[in-house]
Amino acid sequence: MVPPRPTATARDRDGNPLNRDEYAERLRARLTDGGRSTGDPLRPTAAQAAVMARLLDELAGVYRGESLGALAKELSVLLDSQFAERT
């Protein structure tokens, strides 16, 4: 049995930290929810996407071996593949 691993900043309505594994599942579900957005989505520049990807890499390193870290790494790779600066 894995002991609870609280999130650093994400909280429930009562102000309690969420379990990181459950939080990662919720975030993953949100990504696959069909992307129900209205209007034109804002798109980051290639430089902004690169910075976001590096921040996600850092998060992945901190939570290495956890579902939250795996999700961060997957999103980093996605950003890199979609916004790679072409030189």
What is the residue extent of each domain of the chain?
Answer: 6-32+44-83
Indicate the pLDDT class of residue 86, thresholds 50, 70 and 90: very low
Nearest of 23, 30, 13, 11 to residue 67 by alpha carbon: 23
| 7 membership: H or E segment, kind and range | strand 6-11
* CA-derived radius of gyration, the chain: 15
pLDDT digits (tens, 9 = 90+) for 6-50: 999 999 999 999 999 999 999 999 888 766 666 667 888 889 999
User: Is residue 68 a contact partner of residue 21, using CB atoms and an 8 Å limit?
Assistant: yes
- Looking at residue 85, its pLDDT comes to 57
- Looking at residue 4, its pLDDT comes to 84
Can you spell out the DSSP letters for 18-60? Answer: EEHHHHHHHHHHHHTS-----SPPP---HHHHHHHHHHHHHHH
